[in-house]
């Protein structure tokens, strides 16, 4: 895969329906209120592209923080190879360059009947169309003993920011010879290859700075995204330093005790120097309001529009949505946001909907100059997202070091492009 320019990224990343709207922007416009909840790779992109498609739209972006720290590349920051500041982005360009109204608050209540949403500061916003892209929340009831308080001792670091810094401090303070335990949950969860990239980069950090130490990756699953590539890389780069324990061999974490420092699986217990518990997840609370998740924890949507299958005039994109086989990734959220923006504008204008074009590429760093990837192209048939036959693939298993280094460089280029597309 070659370097993506911003123009190529725009044309490929779910933008074909949107590009058609841009060509017709002078023909039709509408005045309507669109509220977008969530300022990440789904919500921010959707708000921006709504305004690009029709500057007459009143677009409000509701987000609890004045800035956004990306989960992509947070594993790199975790081991000191990048600053957290370099992953921090503001909404200034969305506000000043595109006219998006930025509302710093938490969306707390939703009334689909009156089409109003209530915020943490007491305000209510009326909408004609609502886009929910609030991301995930951790299920504190999924592992015995693991709750918000426990995460201050055994951090999850699955929402970038203070948790990332906490885990980094713990790794820095650990004596050489210590054991680092990482847990990986059952699917679905945000960023399927994330725990394995994290284990890799922590192993690289230990190999460089604390070579007597070890990483133990306890997994609830028996297979995972890019597993052959990861396992081959670990055998080559981190023999004896990084061990993966699948679910069938006792990898599922069932209990933690922060008082004694114990992590328990179905068959064993461990007392690590550092424990990183990536707990099971579900859609954030506002996306589950009004039974939008039908009690499953994740929200079903129409594959061609990302409109909720439960409530009209509500679209759900990004990690909160059930958009299988698309993974819960930043690239997927970017694609879905553009399809969602195109759908909303077309419907407000009374124009026919374009057939969406979707894709995903996910890079992982096994070491600073060792990258691997997986990609796929998706089509929508009968309102269901499907992989285009022959479009999916991963990095070659036997690729030379030069290819791995190139893929690491592509990963950095991908990050620069997607953040520029989102916040620039």
Percent of the chain with pLDDT over 70: 93
Q: Match 């990483």 to its residue by tokens.
A: 215
What is the pLDDT at residue 231?
Answer: 98
What is the pLDDT at residue 18?
Answer: 56
What is the pLDDT at residue 211?
Answer: 98
Q: Are 281 and 195 within 8 A, CB to CB?
A: no
pLDDT-based confidence at residue 29 (cuts at 50, 70, 90): low
The phi and psi torsions of 411 (rounded to 5 degrees) equal -60, -45
Q: How many domains does the chain have?
A: 2
pLDDT for 187-198, tens place per residue? 999 999 999 999
Task: Please give the DSSP secondary-structure letter assigned to residue 86.
Answer: G
- Cα–Cα distance, 44 to 26 (Å, whole number): 24
pLDDT of 27 over the 90 cut: no
Please give the residue range of the domain that contains residue 327.
6-135+284-353
- The answer as to whether 375 is a domain residue is no
Average the pLDDT over 72-78 and give the result: 98
Examine the domain organization and report whether 164 and 223 are in the same domain.
Answer: yes
Average the pLDDT over 16-21 and give the result: 54
- The answer as to whether 424 is a domain residue is no
Please give the model's pTM, rounded to 2 decimal places.
0.93
Average the pLDDT over 17-30 and give the result: 52
Task: Please give the DSSP secondary-structure letter assigned to residue 185.
Answer: -
Q: Are 217 and 242 within 8 A, CB to CB?
A: yes
Examine the domain organization and report whether 130 and 11 are in the same domain.
Answer: yes
What is the pLDDT at residue 48?
Answer: 98
Average the pLDDT over 270-288 and give the result: 98
**What CATH number corresponds to the domain at position 297?**
3.50.50.60
pLDDT of 8 over the 50 cut: no
Q: Are 45 and 421 within 8 A, CB to CB?
A: yes
Q: Match 């959707």 to its residue by tokens.
A: 46
What is the pLDDT at residue 7?
Answer: 39
Examine the domain organization and report whether 172 and 268 are in the same domain.
Answer: yes
- The answer as to whether 408 is a domain residue is no
What is the pLDDT at residue 10?
Answer: 39
């Amino acid at each position: 895969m070659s370097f993506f320019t911003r123009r190529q990224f725009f044309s490929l990343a779910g933008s074909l329906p949107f590009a058609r709207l841009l060509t017709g922007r002078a023909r039709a416009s509408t005045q309507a209120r669109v509220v977008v909840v969530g300022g990440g790779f789904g919500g921010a992109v959707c708000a921006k592209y709504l305004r690009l498609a029709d500057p007459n739209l009143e677009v409000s972006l509701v987000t609890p923080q004045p800035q956004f720290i990306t989960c992509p590349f947070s594993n790199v920051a975790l081991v000191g190879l990048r600053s957290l500041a370099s992953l921090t982005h503001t909404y200034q360009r969305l506000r000043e360059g595109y006219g998006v109204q930025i509302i710093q608050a938490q969306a707390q209540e939703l009334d689909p009947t009156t089409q109003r949403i209530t915020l943490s500061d007491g305000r209510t916003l009326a909408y004609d169309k609502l886009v929910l892209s609030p991301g995930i929340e951790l299920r504190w009831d999924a592992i015995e003993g693991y709750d918000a308080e426990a995460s201050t001792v055994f951090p999850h670091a699955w929402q970038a920011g203070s948790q990332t810094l906490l885990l980094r401090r713990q790794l820095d303070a650990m004596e050489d010879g210590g054991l680092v335990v990482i847990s990986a949950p059952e699917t679905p969860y945000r960023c399927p290859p994330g725990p394995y990239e994290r284990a890799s980069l922590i192993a690289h950090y230990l190999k460089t700075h604390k070579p007597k130490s070890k990483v133990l990756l306890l997994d609830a699953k028996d297979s995972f995204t890019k597993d052959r590539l990861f396992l081959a890389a670990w055998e080559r780069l981190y023999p004896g330093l990084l061990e993966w324990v699948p679910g069938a061999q006792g990898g599922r974490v069932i209990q933690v005790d922060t008082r004694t420092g114990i992590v328990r699986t179905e068959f064993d217990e461990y007392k690590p120097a550092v424990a990183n518990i990536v707990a099971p997840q579900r859609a954030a609370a506002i996306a589950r309001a009004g039974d939008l998740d039908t009690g499953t924890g994740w929200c079903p949507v129409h594959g061609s529009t990302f409109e909720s299958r439960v409530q009209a005039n509500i679209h759900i994109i990004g990690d909160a949505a059930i958009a299988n086989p698309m993974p819960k990734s930043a690239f997927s959220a970017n694609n879905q946001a553009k399809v969602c923006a195109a759908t909303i504008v077309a419907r407000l204008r009374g124009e026919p909907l374009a057939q969406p074009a979707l894709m995903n590429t996910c890079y992982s760093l096994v070491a600073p100059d060792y990258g691997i990837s997986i990609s796929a192209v998706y089509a929508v048939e009968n309102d269901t997202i499907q992989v285009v036959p022959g479009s999916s693939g991963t990095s070659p298993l036997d690729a030379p070091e030069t290819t791995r280094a190139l893929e690491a460089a592509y990963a950095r280029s991908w990050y620069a492009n997607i953040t520029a597309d989102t916040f620039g």
